[in-house]
Amino acid sequence: MVSRMNIENDTVEITSGVRFGRTIGSPISMVIKNKDWENWQKIMSVDENELMIDPSLRITRPRPGHADLPGIFKYHENDIRNILERASARETAVRVAAGALCKCLLKEFNINILSHVVNIGGIQASAADFKFEIISKKITMSELRCADKNAEKKMKKIIDKAKSEGDSIGGIFEILVQNIPVGLGSHVHYKRKLDAAIASALMSIQAIKGIEFGLGFKMASLPGSKVHDEIFFNSKKKDSLKFGFYRKTNNAGGIEGGMSNGEIIVIRAVMKPIPTLYKPLRSVDINSKKPFKASIERSDICAVPAASIVGEAVTAIEITDFFLDKFRADSLVELKDNYENYNNLYKGFSLE
């Protein structure tokens, strides 16, 4: 699982937008150098060189489950390498870096985000009852970012088995967002819905094939009385996020009508098994049209823990976008002021 991590031991270089450790409003540029680049300078050269006319270097056997086949038609290419390098999830490294910046901003408002693995190859972790802080602590001690130790052991076995069989394995990760104020997102326009934006960002991660919020797909088999979170009020629960209104359940996963409702946001994403298999699947050569086993690129067996970190990052980016949309400001001081103003607005619980 970790072979790629050995060459992708990333550090981020910030080249603009920050002075003396503080952002100054201009765009922040970040560079993540790929150690493997040394080995690929000639074959991926920007300038023409002798390799460009060497047909034996071309990749012509598309891998099922990848961008390879649709990509060559869309971009009229005769070398699948021109498709697969950009389609690679390597692109997500910089999204993780951007997400880290967003998390810094959100932390100023006590908003925390975590992700953890809840299923690999059908092995289900029973972390659903753990609180945010407990999960957060447990995953730091887990190689697979799984809060359930017993399940993790079984998950490792299933990954090893897939490896020994030249196969790959997928799974599910969960993202939790804590201390979100009521009212991020909007019901008034489809592009302003918080759940739609988060789902779209998560679906943009390579190999993610489904998203659910709260009870998610289980809602299909339950009546409304068992799904919707009843509303209560207690003036003593006057916390600034929900203005005294509260729920005993959170089946909605913290979003109603495209808006945060103040409960923890609960999202799960399913990742398909990695498409590059060491025991390759059948495919057809794009030139000869003859059947072949698909080509093998260096590949992971299971990337669900890595994908969960990407999922956490893109969620942080979306939440930040919606947070800034709601509390618009040009400085952190102003942003805090706007945020406090909103919280003070309903102190007397009157909407008149």
Ligand X SMILES: Cc1cc2nc3c(=O)[nH]c(=O)nc-3n(C[C@H](O)[C@H](O)[C@H](O)COP(=O)(O)O)c2cc1C
Stretch near ligand X under the rule CB under 6 A, chosen from 8-16, 86-94, 140-148, 247-255? 86-94
Number of other residues whose CB lies within 10 A of the CB of residue 337 = 13
Residue closest to 99 by CA, chosen among 109, 113, 87: 113
Establish if 115 lies at the interface with ligand X (CB under 6 A): no
User: How far, in Å, CA of 50 to CA of 39, rounded?
Assistant: 16
Establish if 307 lies at the interface with ligand X (CB under 6 A): yes
Which of 181/273 has CB closer to ligand X?
Answer: 273
Establish if 275 lies at the interface with ligand X (CB under 6 A): yes
Establish if 260 lies at the interface with ligand X (CB under 6 A): no
Interstrand relation of 18-19 and 208-213 (parallel, antiparallel or unpaired): unpaired
- Give how far the C-alpha of residue 89 lies from the chain's centroid of Cα atoms, to the nearest Å: 11
Stretch near ligand X under the rule CB under 6 A, chosen from 29-37, 147-155, 199-207, 232-240? 199-207
Which of 59/184 has CB closer to ligand X?
Answer: 59
Establish if 32 lies at the interface with ligand X (CB under 6 A): no
CA distances from 228 to 31, 98, 107, 251 (A): 45, 35, 30, 7
Which of 60/206 has CB closer to ligand X?
Answer: 206
Q: Which of 15, 78, 88, 341 binds ligand X (CB under 6 A)?
A: 88
DSSP-assigned letters across all residues of 1-27: --HHHHH----EEEEESEETTEE-SSP
Q: Which of 276, 283, 295, 315 binds ligand X (CB under 6 A)?
A: 276
Structure tokens at 111: 């908003």
Sites for ligand X among residues 326-345 (CB under 6 A): none
User: How far, in Å, CA of 307 to CA of 268, rounded?
Assistant: 12
- CA torsion, ordered 294, 295, 301, 306, to nearest 10 deg: -110
From the CB of 277, what's the least distance to ligand X, in Å? 8
Establish if 145 lies at the interface with ligand X (CB under 6 A): no
Count of positions on this chain that bind ligand X (CB under 6 A): 20
Establish if 299 lies at the interface with ligand X (CB under 6 A): yes
From the CB of 92, what's the least distance to ligand X, in Å? 6
Which of 185/305 has CB closer to ligand X?
Answer: 305
User: How far, in Å, CA of 345 to CA of 183, rounded?
Assistant: 13
Q: Which of 89, 94, 227, 264 binds ligand X (CB under 6 A)?
A: 89
Which of 206/260 has CB closer to ligand X?
Answer: 206
Interstrand relation of 282-284 and 291-293 (parallel, antiparallel or unpaired): antiparallel
From the CB of 303, what's the least distance to ligand X, in Å? 4
From the CB of 113, what's the least distance to ligand X, in Å? 17
Establish if 206 lies at the interface with ligand X (CB under 6 A): yes
Angle in degrees, 0-180, between the axes of helices 304-327 and 92-107, rounded to the nearest 10: 50
From the CB of 88, what's the least distance to ligand X, in Å? 6
User: How far, in Å, CA of 280 to CA of 166, rounded?
Assistant: 8
From the CB of 338, what's the least distance to ligand X, in Å? 35
Angle in degrees, 0-180, between the axes of helices 332-345 and 304-327, rounded to the nearest 10: 80
Q: Which of 1, 59, 67, 69 binds ligand X (CB under 6 A)?
A: 67
Establish if 34 lies at the interface with ligand X (CB under 6 A): no
Establish if 95 lies at the interface with ligand X (CB under 6 A): no
Positive or negative: CA dihedral 303, 308, 258, 330: negative
Task: Provide the binding-site residues for ligand X, judged by CB under 6 A.
Answer: 4, 65-67, 87-89, 205-207, 272, 274-276, 299-300, 303, 306-307, 310
